[in-house]
Structure 1
Amino acid sequence: MKTFFRVLVALLPLVSTTRALNSTYTNPVLPGWHSDPSCTFVPELDNTFFCVTSTFLAFPGIPVYASKDLLNWRLASSIITRSEQIPLLNTDYSRQSDGVFAATIRYHDGILYVITALVNGGDFTAVKIPFFTTTDPFKSEAWSDVKYIENPSGDIDPDTFWDDDGKVYMATAGVHVVSIDLETGAATEAVRVWNGTGGPFPEGPHVYKRDGYYYLLIGEGGTELNHSVTIARSRDIYGPYESYAANPILTNRGTDQYMQTVGHCDLFQDANGNWWGMALATRSGPDWTIYPMGRESVLFPATWNKGEWPILQPVRGKMEGWQLPPPTRDVRGVGPFVDESNSYEFEPGSTIPEQLVYWRTPVPSSYIVSPPGHPGTLQLSPLKSNLTGPASFRPSDDITFISARQTSTRFNFSIDISFSPTKAGEEAGISIFLTQFQHIDLSIGVFGDAPTPHPPVTANIPKSWMNGTITLQVSTANNVTYEFSAASSRDVGSAKILGTASARIVSGGTGPFTGTLVGAYATTNGGNGTTKAYISRWKYTPVAQQIDFDEYVPARNYSG
């Protein structure tokens, strides 16, 4: 049998403020897949801001990012790190957009609370509302086991709000409000308090209390080009709510701006009392066809004077805002800053870095650091299911795939791989992955002649490369094309470009709420092979961020 490279594409049919401003920065501040942000400021934890974002089927679930200056964000911890916290990820969630939806993070009486929603198969009558707590957000293991809140509305996007009298309320999409008991999980009957301004999908609610008013902030219009943020207020938490005459207070719909789909935001204050907001946005322009990093998190300043409605500054790639806190990376956490380059050697005694993610809960035995005889590598044991899986694929079938978020428009990603397949179907390589139906792979393997919907490009591996490791690499020179290449690890000059693919393949479609992951995988493609792949010298290097149609800034340039 001959051993080949192949580049394989899997694809389904694609369907102004009133105060002086005195600092500048660029968006997104949480680049890459970071959808549905919620943030809070905690003076008691060394004046630290915390943000969480959606993870859907990714594991670990719900990253918690920490920053002291609003621009340098570090992975402080992950909330869902134990399979028993959300066991359904590997049993029930068959749709690629199922799983852990938008979360809200809040701090109250020394405890951080994160509440979220679990969606299974689009059945919104069975949405579960789990919540987690911690007093130490800088350790993943410090997050509690899951507790559940009753969900009378049956809807998503829960928000928690503590009133002055100590009562706790939950708002959900729809828009509904209930009183809840965090100890027992009980909830009162849902009351629909507002339906937005008439746009579809009123969701992502957050409740704030100021100057005797309950303010209800929501996203509406859907999460595509009509996405917007609207607001209403009432003297009673159950309404009636008065809609602001100048709604929407934040949107890029109907514009030719590069940043689009702006919405689903949260508001918070800094130590000086200045207001800020974090929202999701897509770097796509109004054409909205190529946006591989999906929904990212953008920062904007806000003005909220006493007794008045908040004024939110429109989202752009270049922003001006209040005086930012002093720039610093003196932030605790289990992972790197989101804009850092990363290099992993998988040394003996080390563990898999916490910022690496899997698609659903992993099979631990499929990922072994420095196994006997292969120090300094990550052993990937193949499973029968490949990244796509056959028509009979079920979540419990599992895949061997480990990855990180693509966080920069221009980047280089490479691994060295030692892999000597002998049986038909054995395959290992790298992938640009949006969902199991939309991914682009560069792999080494023994391939049969079975037809595929999108036939792979194959090339013989030179014999001189066969007795050593091979470097597989993907890079981008722009925002529209991925270039795949391979080389003998002993001779970088031997690199061969094996193919290119459009970033449209991993934009939207079956992954409408997420963004691309870059990583490594192994599979037998349904066969009986057992050959393991050994990964070393994992390296991801951000190069540049696109912040407007024809404007790039160097990566890691977020200090203003």
Structure 2
Amino acid sequence: MTEVRTFTNPVIPGFHPDPSICRVGGEYFLVTSSFEYFPGLPIFTSRDLVSWQPLGHVLDRESQLDLTRAPASGGIFAPTIRHHDGRFYVTATNVSDRGHFIVHAEDPAGPWSDPVWVDQNGIDPSLFFDEGHVYFTSNIEPDPAGPHVADPHFERGIQQSLVDPLTGAVLQEPRFIWGGTGGRYPEAPHLFRRGSFYYLVISEGGTEYGHMVTVGRSTSPWGPFAASPHGPIVSHRSIVSPFQAVGHADLVTLPNGDWWMVCLGVRPVGQWPRHLLGRETLLAAVRWTPDGWPIVGERAVIEVDQTRPALPAAPPPRHVVRDDFDAATLGPEWAFVRRPMAPEAILARPGWLTLSPRTGLAERFPCFVGRRQQHYDFVAETRLVLDAREDGDEAGIAVRMNEEHFYALGLRRAGAAMEAVLRTRLGRLDITSVVGVVEGPDVVISVEGSADSYTFSVSDSSGRVARTQPRDAKFLSAEFAGGFTGVFVGMYAATSSAGSGTVARFDWFDYRPAPRASSHGQLDREDSCHVAAGS
């Protein structure tokens, strides 16, 4: 009996939007946006386009990445990765700093260079190497928004220049090249060459439920570009599908000449659609029509289950349940909000993650270390030992969309006692309620997630368990909270006094997807660390 060679989308679940891809020999590399989280630009590698292993991050030093002024869903937008003459290049936009930049590396695992900046407005930059030229393509928008104050005929669309990718110097001034097919917010351009044509793939409709991927072609990289007569390459607008808001695509060719696409999509749940996991990375085969236009499938729709690429299958990624914090650095799944914490501080005590808070959880620079929620059904759990020096200081576990939308269950000092408190922050609504009094500073705190709710619990050394009522998950969805990111779950510590001296130590952290949610990788139920132990 012949085995059906299929895979299941998304290939990278959880908040991994705006994917860009390139191939070097038989290996594929992919980067995604990271917004206000540090380190920036997660990078993955694969040999079969289906099983993606994390390599780390492109931007992992403060000299590369300044997010101090980034609001929620600000920071790093829409990267592109390309390889040329033995060197990798990544371009993206830091919308909260100096705009477009380019970094390069000989090894995609790093180190990557400090950024060089490109003087071109807009967002969503892309690089295209062709016949000795480096084309730098991005969107262009009126400033201020709406009809341009200086030129009422100003068009929103795609612009392009020539650059030196090692210095960022603009060698030929930007030129408007295409306005798209009529959808709003033409953006996310990528230029490709096939035969005698140049293809300009863009997204239209905004990164929301009207999203789609369109294409124009020309015999010149400068246009004029004619739109495909077959309509969008992919569009999930107004169709019944588990995936919605599908767009922001990049293409790659296999050694046999097949073309494949990566793009983003969301998986809404509920009668009134909402999504918590953020925009995820999808994969789809691209076919070419007899008259030379790319399209996905027969209906420009991405299916959940598809035939695998014509590549040897690689082992699925392994989901490690427990991080024991035994390594010298945190694994690539962990992230900070805007500003990193030094490994020598948070990992100073072997086998523990140590947090010393100076602010509250709702501040711009919270003492929070989190990982992406990648499944609707999951359990996250941690052991906490809290040395709280002042009343009101606390630490625990939080599910966080942004600083104005989160739930957190923490252990808090209240005089000589310790109490478990639930913090609910939903915009202007900010409520803290006592869940129960616990014995001692050593507790296990957990959160169970589903498509509808988050339920927290805490157990102390006596075995006593306090459990909250389910909290409505929809209030952390992008439809309610706004923004471009997804929910993170992780450990936090908080204080109202920067010099309190409170220390929170976390012995381990578990993240367990529900068995039915583990189809995107093997679930390792042993207590082991995600990364090899450091010296």
Quick one: distance in 1 between partners of 2:83 and 2:272? 36
In the other structure, the counterpart of 1:518 is 489
Alpha-carbon distance between aligned partners in 2 of 1:553 and 1:520, rounded to the nearest angstrom = 23
Q: Which residue of 147, 152, 167 maps to 1:184?
A: 167
Contact kept, 8 Å, 2:390 with 2:500, in 1: the verdict is: yes
Measure how far apart 1:352 and its partner are. 2.2
Percent identity between the two aligned chains: 32
Structure 2 residues not aligned, in runs of 5+: 140-156, 416-420, 524-535
Per the TM alignment, residue 287 of structure 1 is displaced from its structure 2 partner at its CA by: 5.8
After TM superposition, give the deviation of residue 364 of structure 1 in Å.
Answer: 2.1
Matched, 1:321 2:307: yes
SS in 2 for 1:224: coil
Aligned to 1:556: 521
Find the aligned partners of 1:127 and 1:308 in 2 and give their Cα distance: 39
Shift of 1:329: 3.7
Give the residue type in structure 2 aligned to 1:496. A
| Aligned match of 2:336 | 358
The reply on whether 1:388 has 2:362 as its aligned counterpart is yes
- What pairs up with 1:163-182 in 2 under 5 angstroms? 163=130, 165-173=131-139, 174-182=157-165
Map of 1:144 onto structure 2? 113
How far 1:438 moved relative to its partner?
1.1
Task: String of CA shifts for 1:401-441, please: whole Å, max 9, x gaps.
Answer: 10111112211111100014242330111111111111111
Looking at structure 2, the residues matched to 306 and 364 of structure 1 have their Cα atoms a distance apart, in angstroms, of: 56
SS of the aligned residue for 1:504 comes to helix
The residue aligned with 2:529 is none
Distance 2:468 2:388 in 1: 20
1:184 shift after superposition: 3.3
Give deviations 1:334-387, integer Å, cap 9, x for gaps.
Answer: xxx4x613312123x63222321001122428942143xxx421110011x212
Partner of 2:148: none
Asked if structure 1 preserves the Cα contact closer than 8 Å seen for 2:234 and 2:302, the reply is no
1:7 matched to which residue of 2? none
Task: Pick one of 59, 63, 84 that aligns with 1:108.
Answer: 84
Q: Are the counterparts in 1 of residues 325 and 507 from structure 2 also a CA contact under 8 Å?
A: yes
The one of 185, 194, 197 aligned to 1:210: 194
1:256 and 1:52 mapped to 2: Cα distance? 29
3-state SS in 2 of match to 1:530: coil
- 1:370, 1:230 → 2: CA distance? 51
More strand by share: 2
- Determine whether 1:470 maps to 2:482: no
Look up the match of 1:504.
474
Distance 1:502 1:86 in 2: 35
Q: How does 1:47-446 map to 2 (within 5 A)?
A: 47-87=26-66, 89-90=67-68, 92-93=69-70, 95-120=71-96, 128-138=99-109, 140=110, 142-151=111-120, 154-163=121-130, 165-173=131-139, 174-187=157-170, 188-284=172-268, 289-304=273-288, 308-313=292-297, 314-316=300-302, 318-321=304-307, 323-329=309-315, 337=317, 340-347=319-326, 350-364=328-342, 367-371=345-349, 375-383=350-358, 385-389=359-363, 395=364, 398-446=365-413
In 2 relative to 1, CA 77–37 (structure 1 residues): closer, same or farther, beyond 3 Å? same
Does residue 1:479 correspond to 2:451, yes or no? yes
**CA contact under 8 A between 2:334 and 2:369: conserved in structure 1?**
yes
Q: Alpha carbons of 1:484 and 1:322: their partners in 2 closer, same or farther (altered >3 Å)?
A: closer
Match in the other structure for 1:540: 511
CA contact (8 A) 1:66 1:75 kept: yes
Distance 2:385 2:58 in 1: 33
- The number of residue pairs the alignment matches comes to 491
1:236 deviation in Å? 1.3
Is the 8 Å Cα contact of residues 435 and 467 (structure 2) preserved in structure 1?
A: no
Q: Distance in 2 between matches of 1:365 and 1:553?
A: 30
Shift of 1:62: 0.3
Q: Take 2:303 and 2:407, find their aligned partners in 1: how far apart are those partners?
A: 28
Offset at residue 22 of structure 1 (A): 6.7
In structure 2, distance between residues paired with 1:282 and 1:84: 33
Q: Which runs of 4+ in 1 moved over 6 A?
A: 447-452
Distance 1:342 1:511, change over 3 A: farther
- TM-score scaled to structure 2, two decimals? 0.86
How much does 1:200 deviate? Answer: 0.8
SS in 1 for 2:475: helix
